[in-house]
């Protein structure tokens, strides 16, 4: 009889734990506490445009495939509120990306948005895989300083313009979910 009570209590406890874990996993969708729409402009140095270039190759691609595998680019790119390259920048994107797939175009980004406008002061740190074949890609916002102290969120990027190997513009929809 005592053994049956112990087994029944164990089964009841196990059922309770399963119910609690399934309820805890159903979190309501949160709204971002801050949202920014920005445009990132990259002009790769080609050996002739020193005055306009905002990025440069610091490691050449390897001979493994035809998709720039191994190429490392360092950048200090302007970030604007609209799609015009000559608009006043509200931030600088400073960091690097490298091509990390042998059989297709794919890159990995790590950069800091350094805000220098009157609207925002501080930095946002962004990193993640840029799966170039996808229409939109999500990069992680992993922290920040100033107005963005300890923030976390998602930066959804979309290729807005691509002009050969020397210029591209990304539209960034940044949604922050932890704001202090």
CA atoms within 13 A on the CB side of 149: 3
Is the model's pLDDT at 76 over the cut of 60? yes
Return the percentage of the chain with pLDDT > 70, whole number. Answer: 84
pLDDT in tens, 125-167: 999 999 888 999 999 999 999 999 999 999 999 999 998 878 9
Is the model's pLDDT at 24 over the cut of 60? no
Using the Cα atoms of residue 47, residue 51, residue 53 and residue 56 in order, give the sign of their dihedral: positive
- What pTM, to 2 d.p., does this model score? 0.80
CA distances from 174 to 39, 91, 128 (A): 11, 13, 14
Q: Quick one: how far is CA 60 from the chain centroid? A: 24
pLDDT in tens, 97-134: 998 878 788 899 999 999 988 889 999 999 999 988 89
| CATH fold group of domain 30-178 | AOC barrel-like (2.40.480)
Q: pLDDT value at position 87?
A: 95
Residue 122 bridge partners (DSSP): 115, 146
Return the percentage of the chain with pLDDT > 90, whole number. Answer: 59
Highest average pLDDT, of 67-76, 78-87, 97-106, comes from 78-87
Reading the block at residue 132, the tokens are: 């170039």
Q: pLDDT value at position 9?
A: 47
Q: pLDDT value at position 66?
A: 78
Pick the more confident residue, 2 or 105.
105
Instruction: Kindly state the average pLDDT of the residues 9-38.
Output: 65
């Amino acid at each position: 009889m005592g053994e049956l009570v112990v087994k029944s209590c164990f089964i009841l406890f196990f059922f309770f734990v399963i119910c609690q874990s399934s309820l805890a996993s159903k979190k309501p969708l949160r709204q971002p506490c801050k949202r920014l729409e920005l445009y990132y402009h990259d002009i790769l140095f080609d050996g002739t445009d020193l005055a306009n270039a905002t990025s440069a190759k610091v490691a050449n691609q390897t001979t493994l495939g035809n998709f720039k595998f191994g190429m490392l680019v360092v950048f200090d790119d302007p970030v604007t509120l609209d799609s015009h390259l000559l608009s006043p920048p509200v931030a600088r994107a400073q960091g690097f990306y490298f091509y990390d797939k042998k059989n297709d175009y794919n890159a990995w980004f790590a950069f800091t948005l350094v805000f220098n406008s009157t609207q925002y002061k501080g930095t946002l740190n962004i990193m993640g895989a840029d799966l170039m074949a996808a229409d939109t890609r999500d990069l992680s916002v992993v922290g920040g300083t100033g107005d963005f102290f300890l923030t976390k969120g998602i930066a959804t990027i979309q290729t807005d313009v691509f002009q050969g190997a020397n210029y591209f513009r990304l539209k960034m929809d940044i949604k922050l979910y932890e704001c202090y």
